[in-house]
Structure 1
Amino acid sequence: MSDQVRLVVIINTQPGKGSQQLAAFAQLAPQVRAEHGCLQYDLHPVVGNNDSFVLIEKWASNAALDAHHVAAHMVEAARHNRSFRAGPATVLQLEDAV
């Protein structure tokens, strides 16, 4: 069993505001990728829907993920995201492959 944490995060923006999500991610991603324990942090637009995205995250441990959630840049991002997101993201934590 791995200590790594894998997340799939489903993000929907308000109609026509997908470009704001892309811009926000472009600013945030380098900061997140520099965090201790961040192994992957990639945003993928959904084909055919400019307002839907899937974020793939991989963290070295739960402790690294916990630290990520309280990082100053994440707290600020959460405040800013409300201006263009359709609602809270759906976060799915994956189990190890069978």
Structure 2
Amino acid sequence: MSDSVRLLIMITTQPGRGHEQVAAFERLAPLVRAETGCLRYDLHRVTGDPDRFVLLEEWTSREALAAHDTTPHMIEADATNPTFRAGPAQVLELSAQPVA
């Protein structure tokens, strides 16, 4: 059984500001992917909606995820994201095993 943590994060930007989410992700992704314990950090645009995104994250452990949340680059991102997002991101934790 895997102790990794899988997250699906739904993000909606203010109308016409999806490009700001993409730019923010492009700056942040290399830093996050270099963190100890990061297995996956991928942003996908929702087809047909330039202002909606899904971020897929996977971490080796809850401790690695907790450390990620306290990095300077994430603290800065958390302060900046509300300037272009329509509201808070919805974070869903996925089970370790698929249903079928």
Alignment of 1:1-98 (within 5 A): 1-97=1-97, 98=99
User: How far apart in 1 are the matches of 2:96 and 2:62?
Assistant: 14
TM-score (norm 2): 0.96
User: How far apart in 2 are the matches of 1:93 and 1:57?
Assistant: 10
Offset of 1:2 from its aligned partner?
1.1
Structure 1 runs of 4+ off > 2 angstroms?
none
TM-score (norm 1): 0.98
Letter in structure 1 aligned against 2:77: A
SS in 2 for 1:82: helix
Q: Give the CA RMSD over aligned residues.
A: 0.6
Letter in structure 2 aligned against 1:89: A
Letter in structure 2 aligned against 1:39: L
- Give structure 2 stretches of 5+ with no counterpart: none
- Give structure 1 stretches of 5+ with no counterpart: none
Letter in structure 2 aligned against 1:44: H
SS in 1 for 2:9: strand
State the identity as a percent: 59
The total of aligned residue pairs comes to: 98
Which structure shows the higher strand fraction? 1
